Copies of this chain bind each other. A is one copy, B any other.
Amino acid sequence: MTNTTHQGIREAIRARIVAGEWQLGELIPGEVEFAEEFGCSRTTVNRALQALAEEGIVERKRKGGTRVRPLPSPQAQFRIPVIREQVESRGREYGHRIVLRELRDPPGEMRTRLQIGSGRKAAYMESLHLAGKHPFAFERRWVNLATVPGFAEADLSELSANEWLIRTVPFSRGEVGLTATSADARLAAMLEVEPGEALFTMERTTWFEDRAVTAITLYYARGYRLEFGI
């Protein structure tokens, strides 16, 4: 027999929520039904439901009844990190070094992603971002020369490819994919880790209006962590 004080009813309803009687976000019975079931007044049920709402266990709407609190799906929001700033915020000096730069036939998947016509070459670059003397991230970059014709001859002795592109082509939108990569021999050599080491990896493709600009893959050195609040 349920204790029919408002506290007793609050705990009885709580127990049924916690036991999974209703789905997250599902409507639970109204004051009338609970009052009948528990043999108490609507006012008492109302007080019990109000207490659960104040705790955040249920949500009540004026005419929408009372629902179990739905699954929170917290929105994460964070700034895509700028490597120079990440390095400098660790109190290290940022540096970067181009390892390879050439015109290349992109592999099929990259050709599709960057909308590069068949038979056309793209600019391909590999570069190393440094924190002091240590590798911080290794970057592979493809650039669509139809969107950014000047990139093939761009002077990248002072500016990074990223900075050069920002000065040349406005950014419209991008797609980001985060994943983990097992270091092959080349990544291991570049990042000074053992082959097979797990590397946090960020892929990013950017567009100017409808035209693909660049696709990069950044392999971060051992121990990197991307952090943000929700």
Residues of A within 8 A of B (CB): 17-20, 24, 55-57, 68-69, 71-80, 82, 150, 154-155, 158-159, 163-164, 166-168, 170-171, 173-182, 196-201, 204, 224-230
Contact = CB atoms under 8 A, between A and B. Distances in A.
A167 B224 CA distance: 34
Given A76-B76, A177-B225, 16 more contacts: A18-B164, A24-B167, A57-B170, A74-B80, A75-B77, A76-B79, A76-B176, A175-B227, A175-B228, A175-B230, A176-B229, A176-B230, A180-B180, A181-B198, A182-B182, A182-B197
Contacts of A163: 20, 24, 71
Majority-rule SS of A interface residues: mixed
A168 to B, nearest CB: 6
A125 B128 CA distance: 40
B225 A170 contact: no
A71 B166 CA distance: 7
A175 B225 CA distance: 12
B18 A167 contact: yes
A25 to B, nearest CB: 10
A74 B68 contact: no
Contacts of A154: 18
A180 B201 contact: yes
10 contacts: A18-B168, A20-B159, A72-B171, A77-B77, A174-B230, A175-B227, A176-B229, A180-B198, A182-B182, A196-B196
A74 B178 CA distance: 16
Contact of A78 (B75, B198, B225): B75
B166 A180 contact: no
Nearest to A55: B170
Given A20-B167, A57-B167, A164-B18, A80 B69 contact: no
Given A17-B167, A166-B69, A230 B198 contact: no
A225 B173 CA distance: 19
B74 A150 contact: no
Contact of A71 (B82, B198, B226): B82
A160 to B, nearest CB: 10
A204 to B, nearest CB: 8
